[in-house]
Amino acid sequence: MPFVCGGHPSPACLPELLLALEQTGASVVEIGIPYSDPIADGPVIAGAMHRALEQGVTPAQIFEQVASVRDRLSIGLVAMVSVSIVHAWGGSSGFCQRAEEAGFDGLIVPDLPVEECDPVRDAAREHGLAMSLLISPSTPRGRAEKIARASSGFVYLMTRLGTTGEREESPEVERRVGIIRRATRIPIACGFGLSTADQVRRVLRHADAAIVGSALVRRLDGAEDPASTAQAFVGDLVAACGDRSQSTEQNTPDQVDS
Amino acid sequence: MTSNGTANETHTRPEVASGRFGEFGGIFVPETLVGALTQLEEAFERARRDDRFWEELRTLLRQYVGRPTPLCPAERLTGFVRARARQGKGASIWLKREDLAHTGAHKINNTMGQVLLTRRMKKDRVIAETGAGQHGVATATACARFGIACEVYMGAEDARRQRLNVVRMRMLGATVHTVDAGSRTLKDATNEAMRDWMQSVENTHYILGSVVGPHPFPTIVREFQSVIGQETKGQALRAFSRLPDCIVACVGGGSNAAGMFAPFIEDEEVRLVGVEAGGTGEQPGQHAATLAFGNPGILHGARTIVLQDEFGQTSPVHSCSAGLDYPGVGPEHAYWKQMGRVSYTRRSDAQALDAFSLLSQSEGIIPALETAHAVAEAIDLAAQMERDQTLVICLSGRGDKDVEEAARLKGMIES
């Protein structure tokens, strides 16, 4: 599941990128809506967001771009958006209506903890959107189960403490995935710190999907041809997903229906 | 909360579970921080009910910080006001001298309290954000006093205009990280501190410096700063046998104002006035007057009033004072404004610079540029009040850190 930042590397390149990612075999694409103060993001994604905002990119433009290309895509599209934008741009209901009209299938609101999520989750459900909540390595077991049950579409398991960004080590997710599996039947996606095919392959021994953000965004930064850059990199990762489906008996689909 | 009443529980607390002040406050942070905030809330609630905690803090404040700070009459400033006021007008002005607290500002009240919490949580590293550098210096000081590693995030623009405080922090053994992202001021330093905390929560406490951010910070900081208002109350009763008629404090995030106002919230006869940074104009990017021009929004983990655009992107802000240069405000201030209990005004850069000189030359006290905004408001308010009334200015900090910048700005304005 690749992550791209709307409006990056150039203000209007999102439709072209999404088409390329679908061709490459991505099942779902996460689209970051640039926000001025993205505290959950490390320097690569935060930098991409700042550059997009400096070029005047707005959430409205990104939604228009998604809408313009939606009927040529069959992959799932998930918006990753700060609660500040949801709150200001229409509120829970107004925002979810816009997301539905643009053709999104789901939402991730990384700065909205489970205690505060009801208004957005209810509005999302009303507008046919899945809502994935995040589970951190520091989340206690009981709370992780609560978050898993509150999620729809897929559960987002963070493989690292801290912000988004590439890390060298391969995370150990087996135990955490096991705990979440017992609480929910929806797929489990892992993200934060994943950048190589090898890491993706290891994570997919246990989880259903791997989210790769900073490693892709960094490659797109300044790329002359973003679509082919994305295809080259994501192609390797998709191949890693293929290896995994041959080597495990796991029966949960990595295609996220929403 | 139980009602076993320490001296620190004398006023009402509107917040309920999850730290709400009416519709404001709450916790809007990534999941990784929820555990740390829960741990902090538990540590704070245990400490709050523990008389030994308050005794330890009171002893530190007395022996190390130099509390209580004086409430002193500003006779020549009062004379200046009366000379220009209509016949019979001109309240007597008093100064609550937080500039005389160790390190030169009220910020130390909070950092001493939070460093004791850090010890109780058995964490051995502290991080902080700072705007004017006063909170950074106060945090570095508290950490030096207790032998705790300290790292401070500061916007590159703030580090430039408050260079003296950068040197002080380093002298105290702290590591200072200058932040080049975004507007390179307090907002961006806060983002970086939160990012650090997300990967260091296990051994690190984040000493937030104002009444902003996710619960429980606004409550913790207000409680530790309330010593300002509590002392003022007792001192006013001794000095003029009644409560002040009016109290004025500057508001950036709003910690000195919250600490001064909170003990007076139920004393409805006391007029409370918060003064924001009016900057150079009313357009976005020209001021930091959040309560005047902002809307309900979410910033740095809390629902509060925020300067933002229609999409929720934080607006640029400006003030001559690095400590007021912030696009949000404490959620409790948003609540007090909505309730009509506190009135909030604004003063421009130029008015603050005039007041900076006026207080320096009429009282021999160089105030912080932040504080100068409150002085500017106070002299106009006092001129409209009766002579037998009293007005207290929360003199939140001293201005040594600002003399170079003030001289530079005055040169620019006068040339």
Q: What is the pLDDT of residues B319-375, one digit of tens each?
A: 999 899 999 999 999 999 999 999 999 999 999 999 999 999 999 999 999 999 999
**In Å, how far is A143's CA from the nearest CA of chain B?**
10
> Nearest 5°: phi and psi at B115?
-70, -30
Instruction: Name the amino acid, one letter, at B60.
Output: L
Is the CB of residue B117 less than 8 Å away from at least one CB of chain A?
no
CA–CA distance from B85 to each of A110, B133, B246, B380 (Å)?
Answer: 55, 37, 17, 9
Contact residues, chain A, for B298 at CB < 8 Å: 82-84, 87, 111
CB within 8 Å: A84 and B30? no
Averaged confidence pLDDT in chain B = 93
Contact residues, chain B, for A143 at CB < 8 Å: 34
Could you list the active site residues of A?
30, 41
What the block records as the tokens of B280 is 């150079």
pLDDT at position B111 over 50: yes
Residue ranges of E strands in chain A: 3-5, 28-32, 76-80, 106-108, 130-132, 134-135, 155-158, 188-191, 209-210
* Rounded-to-integer distance, Cα B376 and Cα B273, Å: 12
* Rounded-to-integer distance, Cα A134 and Cα B33, Å: 12
CB within 8 Å: B300 and A158? no
Instruction: Name the amino acid, one letter, at B235.
Output: Q
When comparing pLDDT for A14 and A162, which is higher? A14
Q: What is the pLDDT of residues A91-131, one digit of tens each?
A: 999 999 999 999 999 999 999 999 999 999 999 999 999 99
Query: Exposure pattern of B207-234 as b/e (b: 16+ CB <10 Å)?
Result: bbbbbbbbbbbbbbbbbbbbbbbbbbbe
Is the CB of residue B308 less than 8 Å away from at least one CB of chain A?
yes
Q: What is the pLDDT of residues B36-90, one digit of tens each?
A: 999 999 999 999 999 999 999 999 999 999 999 999 999 999 999 999 999 999 9
Is the CB of residue B215 less than 8 Å away from at least one CB of chain A?
no
| B interface test, pick of A37, A64, A169 with most B CB neighbours within 10 Å | A37
**Sequence-ordered list of residues with C-beta below 8 angstroms from that of A139, at least 6 positions apart, any chain:** A147, B31, B34, B35
The pairing of strands A28-32 and A3-5 is parallel
CB within 8 Å: B31 and A35? no
CA–CA distance from B47 to each of B42, B50, B101, B111 (Å)?
Answer: 9, 5, 23, 15
CA–CA distance from A45 to each of A39, A131, A135, B11, B253 (Å)?
Answer: 10, 21, 20, 44, 28
Active site residue B129: yes
CATH numeric code, A3-241: 3.20.20.70
> Which ipTM was obtained for this model?
0.91
pLDDT at position A245 over 70: no
- Domain positions in chain A are 3-241
Of the residues B129, B151, B192, B223, only one is catalytic, namely: B129
- Name the pTM for this structure: 0.93
**In Å, how far is B43's CA from the nearest CA of chain A?**
18
pLDDT at position A216 over 80: yes
Is the CB of residue B242 less than 8 Å away from at least one CB of chain A?
no
